[in-house]
Amino acid sequence: MSKQDGSSRHVTTGPVDDSATPILHVDMDAFFVSVELLKRPELRGKPVLVGGTAGRGVVAAASYEARRFGVNSAMPMSTALQRCPNAVVLRGDYSQYARYSKQVMTIFEELTPLVEPLSIDEAFLDVSGARRLHGSPAEIAWTIRRRVQAETGLTCSIGVAATKYVAKVASSRAKPDGMLVVPAADTIAFLHPLPVSALWGVGRVTEESLLRLGLRTIGDVAAMPHDALERAVGPALASKLERLANGIDPRDVHTTRVEKSIGHENTFGYDLTDPQEIRRELLRLSDNVAVRLRKAGLVGRTVVLKLRYGDFRTVTRSRTLGEPTDVARRIYDEASEALSELIGDGERVRLIGVRAEHLRVSGSGALLWDPDEEWREAERTIDEVTAKFGKGAIRPATLVRRSHDGRAQRADDAPKPPEGDSDAETAAAGWGW
């Protein structure tokens, strides 16, 4: 039995058929904010934001009280404060979030070994083999919510369903601090009334394309002739949306998570217009991405450039390499060529990001030739020097500036304008890509 309150919140309140629903999606409620409120209980019930507090900081997390004003994560902090001027802004402490995340994940792993973390504050669980010890999927979900609350003081929302996709949708409908079980037999009835934006892969642009076709609900998508849907969104996405709209998602819960991309980005305190300064920042970001690839033992086949102009227009360009790489020079060359297509004289740049995608383990698959061999050797030598003497002990000459008295100065040590959240890593939800 379930009920829906006056908002869009939908929760299970009594007995329900969970016999064929072994997949749980657990999502912490306003995680960063909730951790901060453990230290600042006097702020409960007030609009609270966590994120960059200087220059062009962005919102990493917003309390539900702040969200009522139209504030959400990734929004510029200046915009958030215009919408919610009474909000309390906290800089945040990522080390604390990581500590609580580890504690929560440990609770999951004590109930089932099949845990797939998606980010610092959410995970999929397969409880198929945990029934004998811990009860039915719904009972396990209740146990998780009770233990998380008792052991951390935090709350979470849980979706219980037959597939990962439906479980994730269900947890979002149960927020905050709720649980929703979707019986396997009720999957279609649950999905079809929902808006098309609830489909994975439907962002703002795709949603607009679907709305122009008169497709407002998931049920509308399921009923759409395949050819018409394919013309609107392309063959790959059309097939994916059709499967999801009919509740089909064959993916298993994987206990090992392979990074899909590694990226760094920087939002500047003022718009950059100097081409040399822009490309110097591009080189720095490319170097950071390459270092992380090598540390992880990965190479990337695709280089993605992200650019945000002074008027907030945001564009991305990707370039696929003949051979995957972990070399900064190659990453920079590809990103630089993409940059040349996007900026002209006097163009104002607010944000730059570089990302490597289509990752695979370094050395998996023999190369006929290695176009980056000399650069790779040099950069690995730099890695060794860095490990011994610290970051910045050696670097490309381009990243060395001169101070007013003529002394050499590392670019990342030079005086810079106030920044928001810079160099956010992909794994830090709400702080990076």
Query: For residue 331, what are its two tokens?
Result: 């990453």
Question: Where are the CATH 3.40.1170.60 domain residues in the chain?
Answer: 25-163
- Single out the catalytic residue among 36, 116, 122, 281: 122
Residue type, 202: V
13 vs 88 pLDDT, higher one: 88
CA 380 to chain centre: 29
Q: At 236, is the pLDDT very low, low, confident or very high (cuts 50, 70, 90)?
A: confident
Which pLDDT value is given to residue 54?
62
Pick the closest to residue 121 from 155, 91, 87 (CA basis).
155
Give the model confidence (pLDDT) of 204-220 as tens digits. 888 998 999 999 999 99
Share of the chain above pLDDT 70, in %: 80
Is the model's pLDDT at 313 over the cut of 80? yes
Identify whether 341 is a catalytic site residue: no
CATH 1.10.150.20 given to domain 192-245: yes
CA angle (206, 210, 213) in 5-degree steps:
145
Q: 61, 32 in Cβ contact below 8 A?
A: yes
For the annotated binding site for Mg(2+), the residues are: 27, 121
What is the CATH code for 261-410? 3.30.1490.100
Q: Choose among 54, 76, 100, 68: nearest CA to 176.
A: 68
Q: What is the rounded CA–CA span in Å between residue 59 and residue 77?
A: 6
Mean pLDDT, rounded, for 338-344? 87
Whether domain 25-163 has CATH 3.40.1170.60: the reply is yes
Binding positions are 27, 121
**pTM of the model as a whole:** 0.68
Numbered ranges of CATH 3.30.1490.100 in the chain: 261-410
* Furthest-apart CA atoms within the chain: distance in Å: 75
**Range 347-357 average pLDDT:** 93
Sequence ranges of the chain with CATH classification 1.10.150.20: 192-245
Confidence of residue 232 (pLDDT cuts 50, 70, 90): confident
Model pLDDT for residues 133-185, shown as the tens digit of each residue: 999 999 999 999 999 999 999 999 999 999 999 999 999 999 999 999 999 99
